Amino acid sequence: MSEIVLEHIVKKYGDGFPAVNDVSLTIADGEFVILVGPSGSGKSTLLRMIVGLEDISDGSLSIDGKRVNDVAPRERGLSMVFQNYALYPHLTVYENIAFPLRLAKGQFSDQEIDRRVNQAAQMLELGEHLQRKPANLSGGQRQRVAMGRAIVRDAKAFLFDEPLSNLDAKLRGQMRTEISRMQRTLGTTTVYVTHDQTEAMTLGDKVAVLKRGVLQQYASPKELYDE
Protein backbone atom coordinates (compact mmCIF):
# COMPACT_ATOMS: atom_id res chain seq x y z
CA MET A 1 0.00 0.00 0.00
CA SER A 2 1.74 3.03 -1.19
CA GLU A 3 1.65 6.44 -2.73
CA ILE A 4 3.12 6.76 -6.22
CA VAL A 5 4.13 10.19 -7.45
CA LEU A 6 5.10 11.02 -11.03
CA GLU A 7 6.70 14.40 -11.64
CA HIS A 8 7.27 15.63 -15.18
CA ILE A 9 7.88 12.10 -16.47
CA VAL A 10 9.21 11.91 -20.04
CA LYS A 11 10.01 8.92 -22.24
CA LYS A 12 11.82 9.34 -25.52
CA TYR A 13 12.53 6.46 -27.86
CA GLY A 14 15.18 7.72 -30.25
CA ASP A 15 14.66 11.29 -31.43
CA GLY A 16 10.97 11.14 -32.35
CA PHE A 17 8.02 12.69 -30.55
CA PRO A 18 8.15 11.62 -26.86
CA ALA A 19 6.03 8.51 -26.12
CA VAL A 20 5.30 10.04 -22.71
CA ASN A 21 5.52 13.79 -22.46
CA ASP A 22 5.79 15.64 -19.12
CA VAL A 23 3.27 13.58 -17.14
CA SER A 24 2.70 14.57 -13.50
CA LEU A 25 0.35 12.48 -11.43
CA THR A 26 -0.17 11.59 -7.77
CA ILE A 27 -1.67 8.20 -7.03
CA ALA A 28 -2.78 8.11 -3.42
CA ASP A 29 -2.29 5.18 -1.08
CA GLY A 30 -4.93 2.54 -1.79
CA GLU A 31 -6.30 4.31 -4.84
CA PHE A 32 -7.41 2.48 -8.00
CA VAL A 33 -6.31 4.52 -11.01
CA ILE A 34 -7.24 3.69 -14.59
CA LEU A 35 -5.04 4.76 -17.50
CA VAL A 36 -6.97 5.21 -20.74
CA GLY A 37 -6.21 6.62 -24.15
CA PRO A 38 -6.00 5.60 -27.81
CA SER A 39 -3.56 2.95 -28.98
CA GLY A 40 -0.04 4.39 -29.02
CA SER A 41 -0.84 7.13 -26.48
CA GLY A 42 1.85 5.92 -24.07
CA LYS A 43 -0.16 3.89 -21.54
CA SER A 44 2.04 0.78 -21.59
CA THR A 45 5.18 2.86 -21.63
CA LEU A 46 4.07 4.76 -18.54
CA LEU A 47 3.20 1.55 -16.71
CA ARG A 48 6.50 -0.04 -17.71
CA MET A 49 8.42 2.97 -16.41
CA ILE A 50 6.62 2.75 -13.07
CA VAL A 51 7.41 -0.93 -12.70
CA GLY A 52 10.99 -0.39 -13.92
CA LEU A 53 10.95 -2.31 -17.20
CA GLU A 54 11.64 0.86 -19.13
CA ASP A 55 14.12 3.64 -18.29
CA ILE A 56 12.74 7.07 -17.52
CA SER A 57 14.22 9.71 -19.85
CA ASP A 58 13.40 12.67 -17.62
CA GLY A 59 11.42 13.56 -14.53
CA SER A 60 11.07 11.87 -11.18
CA LEU A 61 9.20 8.80 -9.98
CA SER A 62 8.77 8.20 -6.28
CA ILE A 63 7.12 5.55 -4.17
CA ASP A 64 6.30 6.53 -0.59
CA GLY A 65 8.46 9.62 -0.84
CA LYS A 66 11.54 7.82 -2.11
CA ARG A 67 12.86 8.46 -5.61
CA VAL A 68 13.02 5.15 -7.46
CA ASN A 69 14.14 6.15 -10.99
CA ASP A 70 17.32 4.14 -10.56
CA VAL A 71 15.93 1.39 -8.33
CA ALA A 72 15.87 -2.07 -9.97
CA PRO A 73 12.40 -3.46 -10.81
CA ARG A 74 12.61 -6.19 -8.19
CA GLU A 75 13.51 -3.72 -5.47
CA ARG A 76 10.50 -1.53 -6.16
CA GLY A 77 8.11 -3.98 -4.54
CA LEU A 78 5.45 -3.73 -7.24
CA SER A 79 3.45 -6.53 -8.88
CA MET A 80 2.59 -6.45 -12.54
CA VAL A 81 0.00 -8.45 -14.49
CA PHE A 82 0.58 -8.62 -18.23
CA GLN A 83 -1.94 -8.80 -21.04
CA ASN A 84 -0.59 -12.19 -22.18
CA TYR A 85 -0.45 -13.57 -18.59
CA ALA A 86 3.19 -14.71 -18.93
CA LEU A 87 2.64 -17.98 -17.04
CA TYR A 88 5.28 -20.71 -16.85
CA PRO A 89 3.92 -23.55 -19.02
CA HIS A 90 5.90 -26.31 -17.29
CA LEU A 91 4.71 -25.34 -13.80
CA THR A 92 1.39 -26.19 -12.17
CA VAL A 93 -1.08 -23.50 -11.16
CA TYR A 94 0.17 -23.91 -7.58
CA GLU A 95 3.80 -23.39 -8.56
CA ASN A 96 2.98 -20.51 -10.88
CA ILE A 97 1.32 -18.69 -8.01
CA ALA A 98 4.05 -19.69 -5.56
CA PHE A 99 6.82 -18.53 -7.91
CA PRO A 100 7.40 -15.01 -6.50
CA LEU A 101 7.61 -16.47 -2.99
CA ARG A 102 10.13 -19.14 -4.03
CA LEU A 103 12.16 -16.43 -5.76
CA ALA A 104 12.56 -14.65 -2.42
CA LYS A 105 14.84 -17.45 -1.25
CA GLY A 106 14.31 -18.45 2.36
CA GLN A 107 12.01 -15.54 3.12
CA PHE A 108 8.90 -17.72 3.18
CA SER A 109 8.64 -21.17 4.77
CA ASP A 110 6.93 -23.96 2.83
CA GLN A 111 4.06 -23.68 5.28
CA GLU A 112 3.72 -19.94 4.69
CA ILE A 113 3.90 -20.47 0.92
CA ASP A 114 1.16 -23.05 1.18
CA ARG A 115 -1.02 -20.73 3.23
CA ARG A 116 -0.60 -17.82 0.83
CA VAL A 117 -1.07 -19.83 -2.36
CA ASN A 118 -4.25 -21.38 -0.99
CA GLN A 119 -5.57 -18.01 0.15
CA ALA A 120 -4.95 -16.45 -3.27
CA ALA A 121 -6.44 -19.50 -5.02
CA GLN A 122 -9.52 -19.28 -2.87
CA MET A 123 -9.99 -15.59 -3.56
CA LEU A 124 -9.72 -16.28 -7.29
CA GLU A 125 -11.72 -19.52 -7.35
CA LEU A 126 -8.76 -21.63 -8.46
CA GLY A 127 -8.83 -24.07 -5.56
CA GLU A 128 -9.80 -27.03 -7.70
CA HIS A 129 -7.21 -26.38 -10.38
CA LEU A 130 -4.00 -26.09 -8.38
CA GLN A 131 -2.35 -29.18 -9.87
CA ARG A 132 -3.16 -28.36 -13.49
CA LYS A 133 -0.77 -26.87 -16.03
CA PRO A 134 -1.65 -23.61 -17.84
CA ALA A 135 -2.26 -25.46 -21.14
CA ASN A 136 -5.22 -27.22 -19.51
CA LEU A 137 -6.92 -24.03 -18.33
CA SER A 138 -9.41 -21.69 -19.95
CA GLY A 139 -8.41 -18.13 -20.76
CA GLY A 140 -10.25 -16.83 -17.72
CA GLN A 141 -8.55 -19.32 -15.45
CA ARG A 142 -5.13 -18.40 -16.83
CA GLN A 143 -5.89 -14.77 -16.18
CA ARG A 144 -6.78 -15.66 -12.59
CA VAL A 145 -3.48 -17.49 -12.15
CA ALA A 146 -1.65 -14.37 -13.32
CA MET A 147 -3.63 -12.37 -10.76
CA GLY A 148 -2.84 -14.93 -8.08
CA ARG A 149 0.84 -14.60 -8.76
CA ALA A 150 0.56 -10.83 -8.47
CA ILE A 151 -1.25 -10.83 -5.13
CA VAL A 152 0.61 -13.66 -3.39
CA ARG A 153 3.31 -11.28 -2.17
CA ASP A 154 2.52 -8.14 -0.24
CA ALA A 155 3.05 -5.68 -3.05
CA LYS A 156 3.19 -1.93 -2.60
CA ALA A 157 1.05 -1.64 -5.71
CA PHE A 158 -0.49 -3.67 -8.51
CA LEU A 159 0.07 -2.69 -12.12
CA PHE A 160 -2.25 -4.17 -14.71
CA ASP A 161 -1.68 -3.88 -18.46
CA GLU A 162 -5.01 -4.60 -20.18
CA PRO A 163 -5.47 -7.80 -18.18
CA LEU A 164 -8.91 -8.62 -19.59
CA SER A 165 -8.43 -7.78 -23.26
CA ASN A 166 -8.00 -11.42 -24.31
CA LEU A 167 -11.21 -12.59 -22.61
CA ASP A 168 -14.72 -12.75 -24.02
CA ALA A 169 -17.33 -10.21 -22.94
CA LYS A 170 -19.00 -12.42 -20.34
CA LEU A 171 -15.75 -13.35 -18.63
CA ARG A 172 -14.59 -9.76 -18.75
CA GLY A 173 -17.65 -8.72 -16.80
CA GLN A 174 -17.11 -11.43 -14.24
CA MET A 175 -13.40 -10.65 -13.84
CA ARG A 176 -14.17 -6.95 -13.52
CA THR A 177 -16.26 -7.73 -10.47
CA GLU A 178 -13.58 -9.99 -9.04
CA ILE A 179 -10.76 -7.52 -9.58
CA SER A 180 -12.81 -4.81 -7.95
CA ARG A 181 -13.61 -6.99 -4.95
CA MET A 182 -10.00 -8.13 -4.64
CA GLN A 183 -8.66 -4.59 -4.73
CA ARG A 184 -11.14 -3.37 -2.10
CA THR A 185 -10.35 -6.35 0.11
CA LEU A 186 -6.59 -5.91 -0.08
CA GLY A 187 -6.68 -2.11 -0.26
CA THR A 188 -3.62 -2.11 -2.50
CA THR A 189 -2.79 0.88 -4.70
CA THR A 190 -3.55 -0.12 -8.30
CA VAL A 191 -2.73 1.30 -11.72
CA TYR A 192 -4.74 -0.32 -14.50
CA VAL A 193 -4.34 0.23 -18.23
CA THR A 194 -7.34 -0.36 -20.47
CA HIS A 195 -9.04 0.95 -23.57
CA ASP A 196 -12.39 -0.38 -22.35
CA GLN A 197 -14.67 2.42 -21.23
CA THR A 198 -16.77 0.14 -19.03
CA GLU A 199 -13.68 -0.90 -17.10
CA ALA A 200 -12.64 2.72 -16.77
CA MET A 201 -16.06 3.76 -15.48
CA THR A 202 -16.67 0.90 -13.08
CA LEU A 203 -13.26 0.02 -11.64
CA GLY A 204 -11.43 3.24 -11.02
CA ASP A 205 -11.44 5.81 -8.25
CA LYS A 206 -9.76 8.03 -10.81
CA VAL A 207 -9.19 7.96 -14.55
CA ALA A 208 -6.08 9.39 -16.20
CA VAL A 209 -6.55 10.15 -19.89
CA LEU A 210 -3.46 10.10 -22.10
CA LYS A 211 -3.25 11.37 -25.66
CA ARG A 212 -0.03 11.32 -27.67
CA GLY A 213 1.90 10.93 -24.43
CA VAL A 214 0.30 13.95 -22.75
CA LEU A 215 -1.98 13.73 -19.71
CA GLN A 216 -5.28 15.31 -20.78
CA GLN A 217 -7.41 14.76 -17.69
CA TYR A 218 -7.16 13.22 -14.25
CA ALA A 219 -10.52 12.95 -12.54
CA SER A 220 -13.08 10.58 -11.05
CA PRO A 221 -15.11 8.52 -13.56
CA LYS A 222 -18.17 10.51 -12.54
CA GLU A 223 -16.54 13.84 -13.32
CA LEU A 224 -15.24 12.49 -16.64
CA TYR A 225 -18.23 10.67 -18.03
CA ASP A 226 -21.18 12.57 -16.55
CA GLU A 227 -20.47 15.71 -18.52
Residues that bind ligand ADP (CB under 6 A): 13, 19, 37, 39-45
Are residues 33 and 191 in contact, defined by beta-carbon separation less than 8 angstroms? yes
Residue 8 CB, nearest distance to ligand ADP (Å)?
A: 18
Are residues 176 and 170 in contact, defined by beta-carbon separation less than 8 angstroms? no
C-beta of 46 vs 97, nearer to ligand ADP: 46
CA-CA-CA-CA torsion for 109, 111, 116, 117, nearest 10 degrees? 110
C-beta of 31 vs 162, nearer to ligand ADP: 162
Classify burial at 4, counting beta carbons within 10 Å of its beta carbon; exposed 0-12, middle 13-18, buried 19 or more. buried
C-beta of 40 vs 127, nearer to ligand ADP: 40
**Distance separating alpha carbons of residues 127 and 141, to the nearest angstrom:** 11
Residue 160 CB, nearest distance to ligand ADP (Å)?
A: 12
Residue 48 CB, nearest distance to ligand ADP (Å)?
A: 7
Residue 4 CB, nearest distance to ligand ADP (Å)?
A: 18
C-beta of 42 vs 52, nearer to ligand ADP: 42
Are residues 33 and 205 in contact, defined by beta-carbon separation less than 8 angstroms? yes
C-beta of 133 vs 211, nearer to ligand ADP: 211
* Residue among 60, 58, 57, 64 at smallest CA distance from 27: 64
SS3 category, 224:
helix
Residue 154 CB, nearest distance to ligand ADP (Å)?
A: 28
